[in-house]
Amino acid sequence: VLAGVSSQVLINDSQAIQDFLLDYNTRAGLIAYDLTEATWNFNTNLTDYNQNITLDKQLKWDQFLQEAASNATGYDTSVMSEADKRQFHIIKDIGISAQTNETKLKRLNKILSDMESIYSTAKVCLNSTNCVPLDPDLTKIMAESRDYQLLLDVWKGWSDASGRKMKDLYPEYVELSNEAVQLLGYTDTGAYWRSKYETPTFEEDVLGLYNQLRPLYEQLHAYVRRKLKAIYGSDNFPASGHIPAHILGNMWAQEWDNLIKELSPYPKKPTFDVTDEMIRQNYTALKIFQTADSFFQSLGLIPMPPEFWNKSVFERPADGREIVCHASAWDFNNGKDFRIKQCTVVNSKDFNTAHHEMGHIEYFLQYANQPIAFRDGANPGFHEAVGDTISLSVNTPEHMYAIGLLKESIEDKKSDINYLMSMALEKIAFLPFGYLIDQWRWKVFRGDITPDKYNEEWWNLRCRYQGIFPPVARSSDDFDPGAKYHIPANYPYISYFVSFVIQFQFHKALCDEAGYKGPLHRCDIYNNTKAGKKLSDMLQLGRSQPWPVAMKIMTGQTKMDAQPLMDYFKPLINFLKKENGEDIGWQPNCPSY
Ligand SMILES: CC(=O)N[C@@H](CC(=O)O)C(=O)NC[C@H](CC1(C(=O)N[C@@H](Cc2ccc(O)cc2)C(=O)O)CCCC1)C(=O)O
Ligand SMILES: [Zn+2]
């Protein structure tokens, strides 16, 4: 007997198609608002009560998506416009919400919620009475301490308090997530995540970009290694050439700009770190966001709306409640309510983070009139690049001088090198980290890395790509990937690697549009509404077109291109090549103890 082939007649009436889309957008907006509100309440007050409400709303949202995706298959896309075809495709492409087995879906959502809670409430006891969280305490120690052993205790303590606690949840998550996306025809979760780029050669493209940029990282790594050897003594540095993972000013060694005072090539010249001046001028968290908002407005972009100022959380609440301190930007899907949650500390790092988060909000605002299916970045890297592109202008000595956070701008070549070094310690240092996180996860989702090898393979990638190594032997009970927010929070990460490349393309494009002629690293598009218009023309598209269309609107061409980044840092790389000579590189494998 033939399997019951449903010979359903596809609906091809144009009015019926428009009615479906209108109904979807209306209902999706309301249900998404409910879920976002509940998730916000939970993230800003991590109680079981709030978790249960959030999980209940999540299930309702998943079931709505399943129903809409199922109904959408009843329509004949061959009679539709390209735009409507694209909407229907996205409406059907519902990811892990596709899991129709309610028990499995609830278990998957519970595991994800629990992993993020474990991370966000983890604490390290510095002594028998003082146990402190990552934000701001451990972050501050990792940034400011130069005590090798204290840094080691905090680094190990954090991994024990976070990653170890979720070790057994992760394999279960992987299995349930893969099973869900396989219902949509994806081979595994990594394939589903990569499909957001709509680029068949995406993995090769990012590998190509990484290989192009690797020489810049090798030069920076060699310079920093030599400087740190002088500080900590060469005993702690193995012959393999790796740097201990805990002495780079950051819990994950992903950005090294907290070491600028020790690493500045010309210590007698300014380092352009504005933290002290911000404190001297009594900057508050609110003033940081007002300053960011005024830059966006100077470009003619949309100002932060009243709800943003009334409902955002700009500081860790003082009432002792547990919250998710990891910064984030929220779109409540009603065209009016947009918020940032950030446990802001008054320093230059959080000043930049505020611009990064506001970049997300500006994107939300610019595409608010798009149908819900199109309210997303042209690709996930675009969403991450908006705020950072603005920050490339904001961080210039010229701009910091213009807003009174620097008493002087750059007056000579040495200061210029110091500035490029401070930017390289954030942008070049990040590249291998931004690349490797999802190399690990894509392999885990594919089954190329099994649970018994999770931690070993994590460190093989960290040793190989970052040229760092774990300062204490790792045990089979460790789960160091879980010590990095985006793993328990289930955020794809390659979007940041893409962003760190394309933000320099965007910066160059906007500087060209503004008629700027000087070196790229000194360009500040402040007050330039012509550049602002080019940016908003791209942002308004949201995800309504494939990202090469958005890239062409911004840069005149359709590809990711590392050249603007390499041009930006050229003077520094020349300096480093002279400084480093032949003392560069490291063995691919981790050093043995
Ligand atoms: C509702 C919701 O969750 N929304 C999403 C946004 C969206 O998808 O709409 C969101 O808010 N994600 C949070 C995440 C926070 C930050 C982050 O995690 N950054 C990476 C990498 C990095 C490092 C340096 C840098 O300059 C830029 C990025 C890290 O710190 O490792 C913390 C500091 C900066 C950005 C973010 O904003 O991307
Ligand atoms: Zn972001």
3-class DSSP state for residue 232?
helix
Q: Do the strands 328-331 and 338-341 form a parallel or antiparallel pair, or are they unpaired? A: antiparallel
Both tokens of residue 354?
Answer: 């505020």
Ligand 1, atom 4: closest residue by C-alpha: 329
Catalytic residue among 179, 203, 486, 513: 486
**Cα–Cα dist 142/154, whole Å:** 8
**Cα–Cα dist 143/258, whole Å:** 5
Catalytic residue among 218, 357, 362, 457: 357
Q: Do the strands 338-341 and 131-133 form a parallel or antiparallel pair, or are they unpaired? A: unpaired
**Per the confidence metrics, is the pTM higher than 0.80?**
yes
The three-point CA angle 297-303-304 to 5° equals 135
Could you tell me the distance, in angstroms and rounded to a whole number, from the CA of residue 385 to the centre of ligand 2?
8
Amino acid at site 380: P
3-class DSSP state for residue 248?
coil
Q: Best substitution site from 339, 360, 367, 386 to test ligand 1's pocket, by max atoms within 8 Å of Cβ?
A: 360
Q: Which residues line ligand 1 (CB under 6 A)?
A: 254, 326-330, 353, 356-357, 360, 383-384, 388, 496
Could you tell me the distance, in angstroms and rounded to a whole number, from the CA of residue 543 to the centre of ligand 1?
19
Residue 5 half-sphere exposure toward CB, CA atoms < 13 A: 3
Per-residue model confidence as pLDDT tens for the chain (593 residues): 344 445 678 999 999 999 999 999 999 999 999 999 999 999 999 999 999 999 999 999 999 999 999 999 999 999 999 999 999 999 999 999 999 999 999 999 999 999 999 999 999 999 999 999 999 999 999 999 999 999 999 999 999 999 999 999 999 999 999 999 999 999 999 999 999 999 999 999 999 999 999 999 999 999 999 999 999 999 999 999 999 999 999 999 999 999 999 999 999 999 899 999 999 999 999 999 999 999 999 999 999 999 999 999 999 999 999 999 999 999 999 999 999 999 999 999 999 999 999 999 999 999 999 999 999 999 999 999 999 999 999 999 999 999 999 998 877 999 999 999 999 999 999 999 999 999 999 999 999 999 999 999 999 999 999 999 999 999 989 999 999 999 999 999 999 999 999 999 999 999 999 999 999 999 999 999 999 999 999 999 999 999 999 999 999 999 999 999 999 999 999 999 999 999 999 999 999 87
Could you tell me the distance, in angstroms and rounded to a whole number, from the CA of residue 553 to the centre of ligand 1?
25
Question: First-to-last CA distance in the chain?
Answer: 65
Q: Best substitution site from 337, 384, 438 to test ligand 1's pocket, by max atoms within 8 Å of Cβ?
A: 384
Q: Tell me the Ramachandran region of residue 556: left when phi exceeds 0, alpha when psi lies from -120 to 50, beta otherwise.
A: left
Q: List C-alpha distances in Å: 296 to 332, 508, 529.
A: 21, 18, 10
Ligand 1, atom 6: closest residue by C-alpha: 329
**Cα–Cα dist 575/60, whole Å:** 57
Amino acid at site 587: Q
Ligand 1, atom 21: closest residue by C-alpha: 496
Q: Best substitution site from 326, 356, 358, 375 to test ligand 1's pocket, by max atoms within 8 Å of Cβ?
A: 356
What is the Cα 124 distance to its own chain's centre?
25
Could you tell me the distance, in angstroms and rounded to a whole number, from the CA of residue 495 to the centre of ligand 2?
9
Ligand 1, atom 38: closest residue by C-alpha: 384
**Cα–Cα dist 473/116, whole Å:** 26
Nearest to 354 by CA among 290, 305, 397: 290
Q: Whose atoms come closest to the Cα of 352: which ligand?
A: 1
Nearest to 231 by CA among 147, 138, 141: 147
The three-point CA angle 137-139-144 to 5° equals 95
Segments of 404-525 assigned E as strands: 468-469
Residues whose beta carbons lie less than 5 angstroms from ion ligand 2: 384
The ipTM is: 0.98
Ligand 1, atom 1: closest residue by C-alpha: 330
Q: Whose atoms come closest to the Cα of 429: which ligand?
A: 1
- Name the H helices within 476-586: 494-513, 529-539, 547-555, 563-580
Beta bridge partners of 469: 244
Query: Is 486 noted as a catalytic residue in this protein?
Result: yes
Q: Which residue has the tokens 């547990």?
A: 322
**Cα–Cα dist 224/214, whole Å:** 15
**Cα–Cα dist 395/284, whole Å:** 18
Query: Is 315 noted as a catalytic residue in this protein?
Result: no
Could you tell me the distance, in angstroms and rounded to a whole number, from the CA of residue 300 to the centre of ligand 2?
22
Both tokens of residue 26?
Answer: 């209306």
**Cα–Cα dist 87/543, whole Å:** 10
Could you tell me the distance, in angstroms and rounded to a whole number, from the CA of residue 125 to the centre of ligand 1?
27
